[in-house]
A and B are shown apart, each in its own frame.
Chain A
Amino acid sequence: DAGVTQSPTHLIKTRGQHVTLRCSPISGHKSVSWYQQVLGQGPQFIFQYYEKEERGRGNFPDRFSARQFPNYSSELNVNALLLGDSALYLCASSLASTNQENTIYFGEGSWLTVV
């Protein structure tokens, strides 16, 4: 079975532009989360979606938004890009929303560089 897949793997954007990152969860997984990992730091939680509804949001500005589609795939959108948005964006999926026994699986991430 395929794991969590993300696209694109690498991209370069200019300050002020907009970016869309895509994620397909593991088959059967209904929960998708997004994390930002700045170089040299641990991942920071951005959003969680479950059954197409936002279940949680981290401490990120409104420039960050996301959505989940009926097939449980997800998009992360970032508007008005800043140099500080340069990071590895990780998508994660799990079976259910809050069950602690369900393992959270991560994709390989999308590397975003803002110049």
Chain B
Amino acid sequence: GNSVTQMEGPVTLSEEAFLTINCTYTATGYPSLFWYVQYPGEGLQLLLKATKADDKGSNKGFEATYRKETTSFHLEKGSVQVSDSAVYFCALSDPSGSARQLTFGSGTQLTVLP
């Protein structure tokens, strides 16, 4: 079956530090890959996505590249801000099924200190 493995948290960084959150996946087909963010007390928001190999998703300074050869989709940001503190979820969607369902990783809590 499909699965997503995320770097375990929590992760604590100082403002303006470089961020990497690792994500690897297992899928039977050619999935689409996503990063969702969950701010305290809120629902999930799509941060970025990539639908095919070598695609780079980017948004709000965050980037992730779909690497089929390493089955990875690591999230990076060059300079984090306090407002980036949240839980980040890597997810995949397998287009081969009849349903459009997301398979999520367990989430990585990020805290950015001023």
A→B interface (CB under 8 Å): 4, 31, 33, 35, 40-45, 48, 55-58, 90, 92, 94, 96-109
Given the known inter-chain contacts A42-B89, A42-B106, please indicate yes or no for A107 contacting B99, CB distance below 8 A: no
- Is the pair A48, B93 in contact by a Cβ cutoff of 8 Å? no
- Which secondary structure dominates chain A's binding surface? loop
Q: Return 19 A-B CB contacts under 8 Å, by A number.
A: A33-B100, A42-B107, A43-B44, A43-B89, A43-B102, A45-B103, A48-B99, A56-B99, A56-B100, A58-B101, A90-B43, A90-B44, A98-B95, A98-B98, A100-B32, A101-B51, A106-B44, A108-B43, A109-B43
A56, B97: Cβ atoms closer than 8 Å: yes
Chain B residues whose CB sits within 8 angstroms of the CB of A107 once the complex forms:
43
Please report B residues at the A interface, Cβ cutoff 8 Å.
4, 32, 36, 42-46, 49, 51, 89, 91, 93, 95, 97-107
Chain B residues, Cβ within 8 Å of A104? 46, 93, 100, 102
Q: Within 8 Å CB of A43, what residues of B?
A: 44, 89, 102, 104
Is B44's CB under 8 angstroms from A48's CB?
no
A100 and B107 in contact (CB under 8 A), knowing A31-B100, A33-B100?
no
